[in-house]
Chains A and B, each alone.
Chain A
């Protein structure tokens, strides 16, 4: 099986065909192009040195390679323990990262995008990401905590108070990644409704998938809007504790939201007072025009999955079009664009590619991903990030291939490299996730002017 080595190009990155999102039009020539683009990065680094780079990591299981759990140093028996996650998040915070995301879904993990599989050779099993993030809140002090939740089968009210509570617990470091449920099998876990059953053909192309799921995205956007209104339903100064009149709150400062969606309604107000950030940043992952629109409607950060510099430019333009279509005022409400990369990092040139080959061999298949796969040195990755950034990105969400190895390589290899180049913070300068992202804290929409 060592022959799979030969399928990787010299920098270790490879295309990720066959997976949703990977075959979009902008992904014209796959990964090999990324190496070639490095030559121009110096100039871009210089030009962009005024604004610091944003960096997040996506934590999931033993890492994003399906065979990561079988690596030396992996702790596969501990993936669902609090201590495992506490160690990872502490490491990410040591690296001064903007935030970590926690993947989640209502169904068991599957290698197939659209349906459950019965595989037993990959990580299966997960815990609720909001509760996990809340658990990690008092064990950390600065890093943003961004759990994923489903918005198709859950109640907007529960989602709103859960994330607001996380923001209280983390004193302003909560984010939220709303995700629609694209697997029809998830619906059977609830028994209340059905959702489109995607076919093999549907999932060959991210635009096709998105088209089939358009109604769920539309409903998801309504859920995000309802949640945001619930977050605004208490003014900051609603609690008055006025002993003279016997009033604990000023009832004129808590508001029914009376949200009417196409398929649901929420009366409000929230039971949870306005949280430290008011509106915790909303983060979404998008691969096609419909989800770009979903992001433009309700997200503060959108994660995209270009596979090269040209692809980055193309997707950034598509996101801008979506912003235009939805009429979003990006001056008042900036939309930060992060690119996702699945990374394997080793200091020794070539070592990461060898490791990837070994992992692929263990897995019995070449790694595929919706995001570009990068295997190389931290310095090479720094080159790539700075080059890509100049195509219109605010930052990156890195998906460590194996944990803790590739997370540690990010925090102790990549971050110092970026700091040396003057493009990454050397200490946290703010205490909230909004602060890290340079997003203003918004006023509640129901607050009386003046």
Chain B
């Protein structure tokens, strides 16, 4: 391995779930639910020495105009259960799941992540999200509406409570000393948390896994979300995959870390991205255009427009111009989708302006605004672009979402990864066993130290001080 001072490119992969990111009509498109799909994709990216495999969460099928939305892939597994299966057929790959802090309880979530971390030998990660969505809440006992302002306070307290649970077992509380007849130390697992959202106490059942705490992932974009990430997260899933915007986001978030006593290396920023690879740049570009078009069928184009306009637009021609009529402000035609929360009037104005400037039809416009084929080209072009993006401060790496399941990252792993390795920016093999090792993160904070600046130790500090 050549010595160099280049930043390493961290790579993760997501099996695409809902939304029009998968060309399900392609004959190579396999099952979105069969374990074979998950195993195949996970083993592919483990071969590519990726940091982790990620599964999002869905807790209610989306609905459009009062009916279940039927144009995109629908149906997926419960993600922690699926990842526990994958832990048995992979050896190093990190396993990350989104789990909502609104429709769950800290005790259960902490227990399940401690279990996954144990079963996987220290490879678990938790993408902490919150929901504002009473629609999804209809599937749950507690309902689910939370005021926007309460979302992060509940999430922060939820995460804090989970940390108290993980810390409730000391490192050597599990004694299993047959001769002495002591299986656990007295009081192992005892906890008590009292706060605004949770008042819980008792004994926690599950000694934490090798990582102590799973890696914490966050994906908020708002100021509160960025602050939450700066104080509590170790990875951010960002949606900024245009390098100029990405750089300013990157700078902004990284500079927030200092006030929590953290260094820029304590938080990795990974935009979600697609890669379309072909023999030549021209072929890749043509293939990317084809994919975009297949992802947005005429029906999908109208459905997306209806979601923004809040009106039935089924009479419009998807290959014609955008409607001249104004959106309905209160109508909510597409439920369970978070994209259009910022105000449909503003979104509609922007879309119309873009369509007029570039003379786009409805379908072309939807393709344009929805597209995120970030890296398109020959293997060399893609490898260089990824490397440049990371070296110039746009990101620490990427979460790749293939447009085909389960074979959609085969080309990337077989053709781009070796070039990244040649450039000295991607590992030739795993050098550690836990996800924290792969991400270069410090150990999870230990009991009593948690809660203030400067509590984290680097792995090397722990080793010399132990």
Contact = CB atoms under 8 A, between A and B. Distances in A.
A361 B69 CA distance: 64
Interface in B60-109: 60-61, 67-78, 80-82, 84-85, 87-89, 103-105, 107-108
Give chain B's interface residue range (CB within 8 Å of chain A).
Answer: 35 or more
Contact of B205 (A79, A108, A273): A108
B105 A166 contact: no
A245 B299 contact: yes
Given A76-B176, A190-B107, A126 B76 contact: no
Given A120-B186, A121-B182, A168-B35, A128 B107 contact: no
Contacts of B25: 241, 243
A219 B205 CA distance: 24
Given A131-B84, A271-B61, A272-B33, A185 B78 contact: no
Nearest to B301: A246
A136 B88 contact: yes
A157 B139 contact: yes
B126 interface: no
A188 B200 contact: yes
B139 A169 contact: no
Nearest to B136: A267
B298 A246 contact: yes
B24 interface: yes
Nearest to B80: A131
Nearest to B201: A188
B198 interface: yes
Given A76-B183, A108-B203, A272 B75 contact: yes
A410 interface: no
A203 to B, nearest CB: 19
Nearest to B169: A125
Contacts of A77: 174, 176
A158 B78 contact: yes
B75 A249 contact: yes
Contacts of B142: 192
B61 A105 contact: no
A342 B77 CA distance: 35
B78 A164 contact: yes
B78 A254 contact: no
Given A105-B205, A266-B139, A241 B105 contact: no
A375 interface: no
A182 to B, nearest CB: 15
B431 interface: no
Interface in B420-454: none
Contacts of B188: 120, 124-125
Nearest to B25: A243
B107 A189 contact: yes
A185 B82 CA distance: 30
A173 to B, nearest CB: 12
B250 to A, nearest CB: 33
Chain B interface helix/strand/loop/mixed:
loop
Interface in A62-85: 69-70, 74, 76-77, 79-82
Interface in B13-48: 24-25, 33-35, 39
B311 to A, nearest CB: 20
Contacts of A295: none
Contact of B88 (A82, A128, A155, A267): A82
Contacts of A385: none
B75 A125 contact: no
A92 to B, nearest CB: 16
Contact of B119 (A123, A127, A267): A127
Contact of A128 (B120, B186, B206): B206
A304 to B, nearest CB: 27
B164 to A, nearest CB: 12
Contact of A82 (B82, B119, B139): B119
Interface string B187-212: 11100000000111111111100000
Interface in A133-159: 134-139, 153-158
Contacts of A161: 77-78, 81
A373 interface: no
B189 to A, nearest CB: 6
Interface in B360-379: none
Given A135-B85, A273-B75, A249 B68 contact: yes
Given A108-B205, A127-B115, A272 B78 contact: yes
B141 interface: yes
A125 B200 contact: no
B262 interface: no
A171 B77 CA distance: 13
Nearest to B74: A249
A123 B71 contact: no
Nearest to A261: B141
Contacts of A153: 105, 108
A90 to B, nearest CB: 12
A85 to B, nearest CB: 9
B116 interface: yes
Contacts of A158: 78, 103-104
Contact of B112 (A74, A80, A128): A128
Interface of A: 69-70, 74, 76-77, 79-82, 86, 105-108, 116, 118, 120-128, 130-132, 134-139, 153-158, 161-162, 164-166, 168-169, 171, 185-186, 188-192, 234, 238-239, 241, 243, 245-251, 254, 263-269, 271-273, 362
Given A127-B206, A248-B24, 11 more contacts: A76-B178, A120-B188, A127-B115, A131-B80, A153-B108, A155-B104, A158-B104, A165-B81, A166-B81, A185-B202, A248-B74
Leading 9 A-B pairs by shortest Cβ distance: A76-B176, A246-B299, A267-B138, A165-B77, A273-B75, A246-B297, A165-B81, A161-B78, A131-B84
Interface of B: 24-25, 33-35, 39, 58-61, 67-78, 80-82, 84-85, 87-89, 103-105, 107-108, 111-112, 114-116, 118-121, 138-142, 169, 174, 176, 178, 181-189, 198-207, 297-300
27 contacts: A69-B176, A69-B183, A76-B183, A82-B118, A120-B188, A121-B181, A125-B189, A128-B112, A136-B88, A139-B88, A161-B77, A162-B78, A165-B78, A168-B34, A169-B81, A169-B85, A171-B35, A189-B204, A190-B105, A191-B198, A246-B298, A249-B68, A249-B74, A269-B61, A271-B74, A272-B75, A273-B33
